[in-house]
Amino acid sequence: MFGVGAFGLLSRRNMLRMLLSAEVMFNSALLTLLALAATSEPLGGRVLALVAVGTATAEIGVMISIAILSSRRTGETDVYKLSGEEEG
């Protein structure tokens, strides 16, 4: 699952699709963390996972708002056009 997210992050040019791919990568790491926590102390891993989910939710909210504002101002969601780089 992490590989699928990494591929999507590296191959997409749309900001929102890149954000979705990064979220897939995060969720795969979180799933691994929860699987490891199930074999050790049950409460510690779950608390860490809840903190990670809360942090990721706040992060995604900020990133989506930045992407929407950027899209409204420039009319573009292509990260290469926004950065001024040419397609290579």
Domains of the chain: 2-83 (1.10.287.3510)
Q: What is the mean pLDDT of residues 1-10?
A: 90
pTM assigned to the model: 0.71
Backbone angles phi, psi at 85, to 5 degrees: -85, 150
Report in angstroms the alpha-carbon separations of 1 from 5, 8, 28, 76: 6, 11, 6, 29
pLDDT tens digit string along 29-83?
Answer: 888 888 887 777 767 777 887 888 888 888 888 988 988 888 888 888 788 787 7
